[in-house]
Amino acid sequence: MTVPALRVEGLAYAYPDGHQALFGVDLELAPGERVALLGPNGAGKTTLVLHLNGILTGGAGTVQVGGLRLDPRDRAAVAEVRRRVGVVFQDPDDQLFMPTVRDDVAFGPANAGLRGAELDARVAEALAAVGMQGVQDRPPHHLSFGQRRRVAVATVLAMRPQVLVLDEPSSNLDPASRRELAEVLLGLDVTVLMVTHDLPYALELCPRSVVLSGGTVVADGPTPDLLADAELLRRHRLELPFGLDPRAVRPPARGGRAGGMGPA
């Protein structure tokens, strides 16, 4: 039996002020899946993501990554889960803070003990994966916003995670940068959980979607089917752009070109 890349069972969490954000969330991702996490503001998406690598703990339920249970009392397990789950923030400038691109991408592996040629190879591998070869000596703030977002992805890929979590990856990107990032994501050999309000991007990249609303999973299934359910979208404050038919978009296979159109 294949071990799930990510398994969340019965996850519930209340903040110290008493606000209950999650009410028994169950979620499972198979290795290599690309899954969109959809839902209105305040649904609990960020709270869920912060549990996946142990930033938040203390509620009920369990999180397992590649079969390893996240136990906040076990520092070694927490460190390993944080290596296995890489989170890319919505704003790349929250993730890039070193003088050069190379320094940013090398930061995680260097702190894990890599040095010399092995570290250089890891940096080159991560930059190649996002199509940003040749910029390693440039300051991140000299890059375009879309380029910085791809470098932010590279900083996470340099740790060779099993699960890549992306927070609103398409926000503030121009159409060309949006397409370039989509092609990068389609080429990655990693499980992807994409948190997004961009329903067309979810449709383009993720064959499966999960809708979180009011701290619970209210829908889980093929993305075209969920987005074709007008009543589901209306109940949970999700809206497609005018005229978009989700059943006319075929999510591309891994490694395919983004933007594939055709009958579902």
Domain CATH for 179: 3.40.50.300
- φ/ψ of 110, rounded to 5, equals -65, -40
So what's the pLDDT on residue 245?
A: 83
* The two three-digit tokens of residue 123, written as one number: 């940096």
Q: Is residue 117 part of a domain?
A: yes
Please report which confidence band the pLDDT of residue 263 belongs to, taking 50, 70 and 90 as the band edges.
very low
- Predicted pLDDT at 251: 57
Q: Is 167 within the bounds of a domain? A: yes
Answer yes or no: is 228 within a domain.
yes
- Order of strands, sheet of 6-14, starting from the edge strand that comes earlier in the sequence: 20-29, 6-14, 60-65, 68-69
For residues 177 and 143, the answer to whether their CB atoms sit within 8 Å is: no
Average pLDDT over residues 230-249: 88
Segment 231-256 mean pLDDT: 80
Q: Cβ contacts of residue 61 below 8 Å, gap of 6+?
A: 8, 9, 10, 11, 12, 24, 25
What is residue 264's predicted lDDT score, i.e. its pLDDT? Answer: 33
pLDDT in tens, 110-169: 999 999 999 999 999 999 999 999 899 999 999 999 999 999 999 999 999 999 999 999
- Domain membership of residue 23 (yes or no) is yes
77 has a pLDDT exceeding 50: yes
Predicted pLDDT at 243? 77
**Residue matched to tokens 């890349």:** 5
Whether the CB-CB separation of 207 and 249 falls below 8 Å is answered with no
Mean pLDDT within 76-95: 93
User: pLDDT value at position 39?
Assistant: 96
Q: In terms of residue numbers, what domain contains 64?
A: 6-248
Q: What is the pLDDT of residue 248?
A: 75
Q: Residue 261: which pLDDT band, with cuts at 50, 70 and 90?
A: very low
Q: What is the mean pLDDT of the chain?
A: 92
Q: Span 41-52, mean pLDDT? A: 94
Inform me whether the pLDDT recorded for 199 exceeds 50: yes
Per-residue confidence (pLDDT) for residue 10, from 0 to 100: 96
pLDDT band of residue 262 (cuts 50, 70, 90) is very low
Q: Given a cut of 90, is residue 59 above it in pLDDT?
A: no
pLDDT category, 260, cuts 50, 70, 90?
Answer: very low
258 found inside a domain: no
Q: Would residue 257 count as lying in a domain? A: no
Is the Cβ–Cβ distance between 114 and 125 less than 8 Å? no
36-45 mean pLDDT? 95
Residue 255 above 90 pLDDT?
no
Helix (H, G, I), strand (E, B) or coil at 119: helix
Give the Cβ contact number of residue 238 at 10 Å: 22
When divided into structural domains, the chain yields a total of 1
Residue 253 lies inside a defined structural domain of this protein: no
> Has residue 113 been placed in a domain?
yes
Phi, psi of 233 (to 5 degrees): -65, -45
Torsion sign, CA atoms 99, 119, 3, 207: positive
CA distances from 113 to 100, 127, 157 (A): 20, 19, 16
Q: Please state, in angstroms and rounded to a whole number, the distance separating the CA atoms of residues 154 and 227.
A: 30
pLDDT reported for residue 258: 55
